[in-house]
Structure 1
Amino acid sequence: MAREPKTNYEKNGVKYYRVTVTLGRDCNGKLIRKEFYGKNKKDAEEKKDQYLNGINEGLNIDFSNVILGNLMRSWLFEIVRISSNIKPASFSRYEGVFRNYIENSLIYNIKLSDLKSIQIQRYYNNLKSIGKSSNSIKYLNKLLKQFFNYCVDEGYMLKNPCSGKRIVIPSDEIVGPQDEEVEYFTDEEVKILVDGLSKHSLKHIILINLGTGMRRGELLALQWDDINFQSKEICIKRSLSKTYLIDEDGSRKKQTIIQTPKNSHSIRTIPFPESLLPLFKELEIKQKKDKLAAGELYVNSDYIFTTAIGNLIDVGNLYNSYASLLKKLNIKHKKFHALRHTYATKLFEQGIPLKTVSQLLGHSNIEITANIYTHVIPKQKVDAVEKLNYMFKSL
């Protein structure tokens, strides 16, 4: 018995199995036929049956007229938004990309059945020509790729126009050997900063950040149970962020939330220097005094860093107070994240191995750490080679 061929049709160089069904006749008496494509006969038949079942249930959808923007909005708000795998901050970024790059764009009204990779490529090239960065376009492409995967899985499209090497992200012009330097505090600036913190409200946050290198959100989400004072270790398992929470109708409201850290490697246990122990003790005493002073207005919680009435620290207020402090101390302004960079830089300067620093920082791989701290690693290599001088003392 002859075997059934796996494919029987080729389109744009790709082989498929095609089945055809007659749906009736149009007003001119012409037969209405619809084709279904699959990786093999079974796959194509399943798509055909799904479509016919939809007709029987009154769900006849003509995929040929589905508009990219309309379906992407439905996918984003009705599927992605309610997924247990999506964090509010991530969805806020997705919604922002859709709002800024898909709505009212050149590609919004394109029919999925007509969409080709070259149309996406031209759109990206146009974005680059009006000043959008490669990173912005790359993030847009990442979201579109996820959406088109959904479209392929649901039968709206035969293939993903953003998959493989079909799309090239326009590159930024190379300004120099390093477009953006990592900001960190010098030893002199650290001394000025530490000396100027004795009675400042940010004393504990800044000093503990310098001694642990935690991300801002990880630091502000710390609870007392996360600290092991005997082993001098901190368990990092949550993060605070201020982001837009978006309803299904697209309305946006900014809110402070607590969530799990950005990746699985961020959930970690790190040691802290013994010199930080008195700071935690001072914080305990301060919270008790705040509670007595606020009385019934005080909000009880297990968080370490709180306001005078027990609320979580507002990120915007933290940044404003931090910027004012640097200005008062005549230190050139650096992002709050520079405290974390300072921690890592000083570890490298003390000869701590790359892998260890990467694990302490909670990076997903050491390549990320190496790429960020290129300003320190070359000096480490020079210092390491200099240690071989002992072999040549007799020369």
Structure 2
Amino acid sequence: MDNFIANDLLKYLSNSDNIDVNSIVAHLKEMEKRQRYLKMHDHDIWLAPDGYWKTKIQEGEKKRLIKRKSKSDVENVVIDHYKKLSQNNNNFRARFDIWVERQRACGRSENTILKYQSDYKRFFEGYPIEDIEIQLIDEIVLSKHIIQVLKEKQIPWRAFKDIMGYTSGVYDKAIRDRVIQENPFKYLDLPIYRKYCYVPPVKTTKQRTLSEDDIHTLMDRLHNPRAHNVNVMCCFAIELALYTGMRVGELSALMWDDIVFDEDIMVIRHSEKFDRTTKQSFITTVKNGKERVFPLVDEIKELLLRVKQHESERGWLSEFVFNDDDGRLTKSKISDTTRNITMSDDFSGIKSIHAIRRTFNSNLKHSGANTTMASSLLGHSERVNEQNYTYDMSELNEKRQLIRSIVTAVTENET
């Protein structure tokens, strides 16, 4: 208990005729609340030569001079000022909404905004912290809330770190808005809470990738779509994924203008995204915003020419590479087809385009590609040190040799 509270409590006790424990506890809470408001005040309270106690209060971009006959009167004005601020939509829920609006103003996508909002519902909605004034939420309040939620819900460590990042951002925004003075997150040791986080079952390499047998079986299905009642255009897209490790959204958004046959390259620059707010798909840039050049080997060029011939014969040709009688193939159609094909007992488990992408990445490394080259081909982000201190010095021909070895291995599995 600091000196201010101790002295104030002694004064309260000396002025009270009937003292009971409940009244003492209530008074202590009120004093602590007053102290929290006063700690938010970043201007001195001083006794001026004219005999008045004075301070300054920040109001927008201006400072208002306050003067009263006693120090306690000045403190009351300060406390009232910060009380009004906290009543003006400054509980945690309102401050989170303010932070979200700032993210929207900074250009975050609606899908990202929706993720912020869904994470809020998961971690904060329905808990007492929602209605507490943000000035009164210190590291102790936060810690109790964190432990309670992690014990009640299955939240993995990675998701927890993301949510804590948002929450710290809420406090940073409140500091910029002069609602609070400091961010209590600097006093939290987040790794301590890892023991309360949910640990999901670890998937094996067999579950996350395709084995040689899986690839052999998949290629057989892709080249015999009618026998297995599979959309032939989706089969073409899945085969290209095996040869390139492209993301499913990159496959569905691939355009003929991106294919430069004369130079034996493909420029991967578009991706299909789904707006979860409007429930509409749209074409945008690739995930990291950086287009990448992918070398075309003979097998990939032959596949693309087969696609063009198949579509030309049926009148399906468009600016996009993969189309059927419904128009451009969507990433959901390609993904669903991949899962449906691999749903049988002939596979080591149900596979996805992302499992194919992981397999391609593993094959790249096994073929001798370094991390930088693999990242360049797949559009991955590398670790910070590799981003800053390593460079892709490989020539396109070297990449082409690697791709040729991988494609050859895939096609050999077919026979």
Instruction: Give the alignment's TM-score, normalised by structure 1.
Output: 0.69
Percentage identity across aligned positions? 19
1:194 matches 2:226: no
2:189, 2:330 → 1: CA distance?
A: 46
Partner of 2:350: 333
Among 194, 199, 207, which residue is 1:171 paired with?
194
Show the counterpart of 1:83.
106
Deviations 1:97-149 (A, max 9, x none): 12322332232111011110222222221222123222221111111122221
Q: Distance in 2 between matches of 1:204 and 1:172?
A: 46
Contact 1:133 1:172 in 2 (8 A): no
Cross-structure match for 1:256: 281
**1:132 is the counterpart of 2:149:** no
Query: Is contact 1:67-1:110 (8 Å) kept?
Result: yes
Identify which of 278, 284, 287 aligns with 2:308. Answer: 284
Distance 2:55 2:324 in 1: 65
- Report if aligned partners of 2:92, 2:130 keep a CA contact under 8 Å in 1: yes
Structure 2 letter corresponding to 1:146: G
Measure how far apart 1:169 and its partner are: 5.8
By how many angstroms is 1:210 displaced?
A: 1.1
Which structure has the larger Rg? 2
State whether structure 2 residue 335 is matched by structure 1 residue 353. no
SS in 2 for 1:337: helix
1:147–1:291 CA distance, 2 compared to 1 (3 A) = farther
Deviation by residue 1:260-312 (Cα, 9 ceiling, x = unmatched):
22324x532222332111111122223323436xxxxxxx8522123323234
Change (3 A) 1:168 1:329: closer
User: Counterparts in 2 of 1:24-103, with a 5 A limit?
Assistant: 47-48=58-59, 50=61, 62-65=84-87, 66-76=90-100, 78-84=101-107, 86-103=108-125
What SS class does the counterpart of residue 230 from structure 1 fall into? helix
Q: Which residue of 2 aligns with 1:244?
A: 276
Q: CA deviation at 1:67?
A: 0.8
CA contact (8 A) 2:252 2:330 kept: yes
Q: Is 1:344–2:361 an aligned residue pair?
A: yes
- 1:11-33 per-position Cα deviation (integer Å, ceiling 9, x unaligned): 9xx99952569xxxxxxxxx998
State the AA in 2 paired with 1:232: D
Give the direction of change, closer, same or farther, for the CA distance of 1:164–1:115 in structure 2 (3 Å limit): closer
After superposition, give the CA deviation of every residue in 1:53-87 in whole Å (9 maximum; x if it has no partner). Answer: 9xxxxxx99323321102322432x3323432x12
Distance 1:67 1:49, change over 3 A: closer
Q: May I ask how many residue pairs the two structures share in their alignment?
A: 315
Distance 1:15 1:98, change over 3 A: closer
Q: Which residue of 2 aligns with 1:217?
A: 249
Provide structure 1 residue ranges, at least 5 long, that are not aligned to the other structure: 1-10, 22-30, 37-46, 54-59, 246-252, 293-299, 370-395
The one-letter code matched in structure 1 to 2:149 is: L
2:327 to 307, 310, 324: 310
User: Take 1:92 and 1:49, find their aligned partners in 2: how far apart are those partners?
Assistant: 31
Alignment partner, residue 248 of structure 1: none
- Structure 1 contact 243–257 (Cα < 8 Å) conserved: yes
CA 236–20 in structure 1, closer or farther in 2 if over 3 Å, else same: farther
| Aligned-pair Cα RMSD in Å | 3.6
Whether the 8 Å CA contact 2:157–2:194 is kept in 1: the answer is yes
- Measure how far apart 1:164 and its partner are: 6.6
Q: Is the 8 A contact 2:335 2:353 kept in 1?
A: yes
**1:144 matched to 2:161:** no
C-alpha distance in 1, partners of 2:40/2:91? 26
In proportion to residue count, which structure has more helix? 2
Cα distance between partner residues in 2 of 1:219 and 1:368: 30
One-letter code aligned to 1:117: E
Distance 1:325 1:72 in 2: 44
DSSP-derived class of the 1:234 partner:
strand
Closer, same or farther in 2 for the Cα pair 1:357/1:314, shift >3 Å? closer
Q: Which residue of 2 aligns with 1:120?
A: 142
TM-score (norm 2): 0.66
Conserved? CA contact 1:291–1:310, under 8 Å = no
Distance of 1:307 and 1:34 partners within structure 2: 73
Residues 329, 235 of structure 1: CA spacing in aligned structure 2 closer, same or farther, 3 A cutoff?
Answer: farther
